[in-house]
Amino acid sequence: MAPTVLHVTGARPNFPKAAPVVRALAEQGVDQILVHTGQHYDDKMSEVFFRELELPRPDLNLGVGSGSHGEQTARIMTALEEVFTERRPDLVVVYGDVNSTVAASLVASKMLIPTAHVEAGLRSFDLTMPEEINRLVTDRLSTLLLATSPDAVAHLGNEGVDPDKIHLVGNPMIDTLLSQLDRLDVDKARAAFSLDGPYAVATLHRPGNVDDPQDVKEMVASLHAVADLAPIVLPLHPRGRARLEDAGLLAHPALKVVEPLGYVDFMGLVRGAAFVVTDSGGVQEETTILGVPCLTLRPNTERPVTITHGTNRLVTRENLPQVAAEVLADGRPETWPVPPLWDGAAGERIARVLVSFLEKR
């Protein structure tokens, strides 16, 4: 019987990473099962990605919904245990650092099913980030560690991981971005949001920016100061939305708060931006490829390669307006470095690693 690969996705960042891997394995004739845990469950956070990225419809949607980290992870683990028992996959593939990722790796390891982690080895070294816990646990339990950058490989080596388990494959999220470039329509984005001249894009959802009332107040004041310089389009994640709005986010006329966008519309908006303000991991990577200055509102990043080989820089709420003014004055770079193997072929490299592993078993 042919081996079966089961992919676990659950949240918006997973889908652009999974699409190239699913496609490359399909081209090699591998039997696959696609599970969507439903961690992100509304159309703009999940369903639109299956349509736009030509991902096959999920074979299973577990519909776990939202909740605290413990509640959500427990529901995912309970549901996945039933799935793995029934389907008995030969390999489970997990993506990124969301709760679905760590839940799947925990269940698979206890059921003695090998796991491959796409985006292994990323480290912020900040244990206050739930995602950092998810990364550490997933990497410790995974059989195959598929790294996007040389620094990730180094982190895994420093943690004593067997080098035979580590594979530098590049970044499948960039495969998706490069494959969609022709669809990223800046003029459409400008027209949709009545943008004339330089503009910025912002995304915010991390606890350090949207949970504490004082942090939220400072965040809103900082964004208003940036909006004095250029209009900002802010597709607002459900997480923290009420607190930001209660703190006066909507009071500035140049701050355009909109619902979360689909992949193509959002990336078209980013492509034309003078700069992006974000606390997201994936946006740091996408702006690195597009050459858009990225101002990351965090004290650290698990993607330092976007700083050394891209257009990213870390900022604080206090210095964001000043840095934004400098970026506007400097303009977009004409050339910029790009990390190694971020070339649109990561999906194929990952598929080769997975197929080789399955053949040896």
Query: Does 182-330 match 4-171+342-360 at the fold level?
Result: yes
pLDDT tens string 193-251: 999 999 999 999 888 888 899 999 999 999 999 999 999 999 997 777 889 999 999 99
Q: What is the pLDDT of residue 39?
A: 65
Using CA atoms in the order 276, 279, 280, 286, what is the torsion angle rounded to 10 degrees? 30
Mean local confidence (pLDDT), 149-170: 98
Mean local confidence (pLDDT), 91-109: 97
183 DSSP 8-state letter: G
pLDDT tens string 165-186: 999 999 999 999 999 999 999 9
143 DSSP 8-state letter: S
Query: Which CATH number does 4-171+342-360 carry?
Result: 3.40.50.2000
Question: Strand pairing of 31-36 and 60-61?
Answer: parallel
The phi-psi region of residue 335 (left if phi > 0; otherwise alpha if psi is between -120 and 50; otherwise beta) is beta
pLDDT tens string 296-337: 999 999 999 999 999 999 999 999 999 999 999 999 999 999
pLDDT tens string 21-59: 999 999 999 999 999 998 655 555 556 777 888 788 889
- C-alpha to C-alpha distance for 359 and 188, rounded to whole angstroms: 47
Mean pLDDT of the chain: 94
- C-alpha to C-alpha distance for 312 and 327, rounded to whole angstroms: 11
Q: Parse the chain into domains and list their residue ranges.
A: 4-171+342-360, 182-330
Pick the CATH number of 182-330 from 3.40.50.2000, 3.40.470.10, 3.30.428.10, 2.20.140.10: 3.40.50.2000
Q: What is the pLDDT of residue 211?
A: 87
Residues with Cβ within 8 Å of residue 234, at least 6 apart in sequence = 201, 202, 203, 204, 223, 249, 255, 256, 257, 258
Residues catalogued as catalytic: 205
Other C-beta atoms closer than 10 Å to the C-beta of 126 total: 14
